Amino acid sequence: MSRLGLPQMKGQGNLVGAHAIDSVGSGLVLAFIVVYFAQTTTLSLPAIGAALTLARFLAFPTAILVGPLIDRFGARTVAAAGNLISAVGFGGFLLADQVWKIVIVALLTQAGQATYWTSSSGLVVLAAKDGERPRWFGFVRALRNMGLGLGGAIAAFAVGFGGTAGLDAVVIANTLSFVLGAALLLTWRPDAEAAAKAQAAASTTVDEPPAKVSYATVLRDRPYMTMVSLNLLCVFGAMLNSVLLAVYIIEGLHRGAWLAGTLLVLNTIQVAATQTIISRQLERFRQTRLIAAACGLNILAFGIFGALSESPSWLVVAGLYVAMFIYTLAEIVQAPPMDDLSVSLAPKHARGRYLAVFQLSWTVGQTLAPGLLTLLLSKGAVWPWVFLVCVSTIGIPLVLRLEKMMAARDAQAARAENEPVAATA
């Protein structure tokens, strides 16, 4: 398993199962929700779209509300609660036949998913042995990618072959799966040593109480907020598959939608097959340098995507596959170190609030990207790619600045540790 870049998973089967369930569930939410209500209600598509948009807006602050709960109750308990919220939301699909009902059930599913994935980095901390956190993040990334693909495939199968009964069967199965995911987490017992360390870090002792932490504390943490800003830039690129790819191929390149489907399959297979192996090979490099390298790969990939709008027709298909391969490689290189930095830069006693702010960068990016990228595409096929190239270019000096800030913080911490020793001597 080590040669494949996989972490030690003995005793962590419940966690792996819970992640798999949530990944498939997320895929169903992304690919299934609009189709479900279009097929099972008499509402118009604009009405359904408006209801889902409102639900997403109302779910926006979920991560901020969840952060203090993680600090108080622990990531495992909060993640299980997120699964139960998702189960209630999916179960409610069966009863949602009006706009206000769709808003409520969609809000519950969005809030449940946000709760779980805000807690997910904390779950990795509980599971990972010393030095294995990047491997765990890489493994979770690969598992999530496969789950999203499987969820989308299940949704497509249900729509194509199952009819209304098939759609309802998927909803019921997904509801039960989220309940199972919650049960897996609540009965999961992480490694005793890791759990003890996490509990000790989260608890307040009489001799050395941790400083009180609010979200203002997080916002004043310059290294962490620099990392959050960097992640926000990366989120715009990460939205390529779900927002930009298909519409660019159809409207910008005047090619069939099937081509976008094959590129998404390539992305899924590449991540699933190589994520953990590549992450293992890159363990010897600084995390900040890996993120900078990923920004460079993205600049190349986005440049190729954009250039294809002015390329001869015989070059377009091959160019798309090359660009997608490079883009996916950048995703593989960038994701685990970014996730690990979101944990390692956060104080242990306030990790929940810090991870909530990190998750909020995803929420903000996912909210802004669809409107911004499609607006740019309406101005010309090349403009979304110009924007993404610029964003990735900004990311390189930003991550190098973060590297210097981290080095300065480490040096300051080392001096603080040595001062009492020097005074005693």
Give pLDDT tens digits for 316-371.
999 999 999 999 999 999 999 999 999 999 998 888 999 999 999 998 998 888 88
Q: Which residue has the tokens 């479900």?
A: 36
- Token pair, residue 11, equals 């005793």
pLDDT of 99:
93
Domains observed in the chain: 8-203 (1.20.1250.20), 214-425 (1.20.1250.20)
- What is the rounded distance in angstroms from the CA atom of residue 12 to the CA atom of residue 10? 5
The SS3 assignment for 259 reads helix
Give the residue ranges of DSSP H helices in 239-256.
245-247
- What is the rounded distance in angstroms from the CA atom of residue 417 to the CA atom of residue 425? 14
The SS3 assignment for 331 reads helix
Extended strands (E) in 48-122: none
- What is the rounded distance in angstroms from the CA atom of residue 256 to the CA atom of residue 62? 38
Burial class (CB in 10 A: 0-12, 13-18, 19+), 422: exposed
Residue 218 Cα to chain centre, angstroms? 20
pLDDT of 192:
44
Q: Output the pTM of the full model.
A: 0.83
Q: Looking at residue 60, what DSSP letter applies?
A: T
Phi-psi region of 213 (alpha: psi -120 to 50; beta: other; left: phi over 0): beta
Given a contact cutoff of 8 angstroms between Cβ atoms, the answer to whether 376 and 236 are in contact is no
Closest of 125, 124, 142 to residue 277, by C-alpha: 142
- What is the rounded distance in angstroms from the CA atom of residue 336 to the CA atom of residue 124? 12
pLDDT of 205:
40
Sign of the C-alpha dihedral computed for residues 240, 243, 249 and 255 taken in this order: positive
- Token pair, residue 380, equals 């010309």
**Intervals of the chain under pLDDT 70:** 1-5, 28-32, 130, 152, 155-156, 158-162, 191-211, 419-425
Digit-coded pLDDT (tens) for 105-146: 999 998 998 998 899 888 888 887 767 788 888 888 888 878
- Across 342-374, b (16+ Cβ under 10 Å) vs e yields bbebbbebbbbbbbbbbbbbbbebbeebeebbe
Closest of 406, 410, 416 to residue 223, by C-alpha: 406
pLDDT of 164:
78
